[in-house]
Homo-oligomer: A and B are copies of this chain.
Amino acid sequence: MVNIPQLLQEDATQTSEWLDGYFDALKDASAQHLLAAMRYSAMNGGKRVRASLVLSAARLASSQQSSLASSQQSSPASSQESYQPAHLAVAGAVEMLHAYSLIHDDLPAMDDAELRRGVASCHKAFDEATAILAGDALQTEAFSLLSKPGLMADASRQLELCAVLARASGVVGMAGGQMLDLQAETSASDPAQTKIMQELKTGALIRASAVMGVIIGGGDKRMQNAVDKFASHLGLAFQIADDLLDYQADADQLGKPAGRDAEQGKASFVELLGLEEARRQADSLIEDGCASLDQFGDAADGLRGLAQFVINRNH
Contacts and interface: CB of A to CB of B under 8 A. Distances in A.
A170 B143 CA distance: 10
A175 B26 contact: no
A280 interface: no
Contact of A182 (B30, B110, B129, B179): B129
A156 B152 CA distance: 10
Interface stretch (A60-68, A157-165, A240-248, A267-275): A157-165
A29 B30 CA distance: 39
Interface in A172-194: 172-173, 175-180, 182-183
A162 B147 contact: yes
Q: How many copies does the complex hold?
A: 2
Contact of A137 (B146, B170, B196): B170
A180 B133 CA distance: 11
Interface residues of A, number: 58
Interface in A107-155: 107, 109-110, 127-130, 132-133, 135-137, 139-141, 143-144, 146-149, 154-155
Interface string A5-23: 0000000000000000000
Nearest to A110: B129
Interface stretch (A32-40, A44-52, A76-84): A32-40
Given A163-B148, A179-B33, A129 B109 contact: yes
B31 A200 contact: yes
B137 A136 contact: no
A151 to B, nearest CB: 9
A25 to B, nearest CB: 11
A128 B175 CA distance: 14
A181 B169 CA distance: 28
Contacts of A109: 127-129, 132
Given A104-B132, A149-B160, A171-B26, A183 B140 contact: no
16 contacts: A26-B171, A26-B172, A30-B176, A31-B172, A31-B176, A34-B175, A38-B171, A104-B133, A104-B136, A109-B127, A143-B162, A144-B170, A147-B159, A148-B163, A149-B156, A162-B162
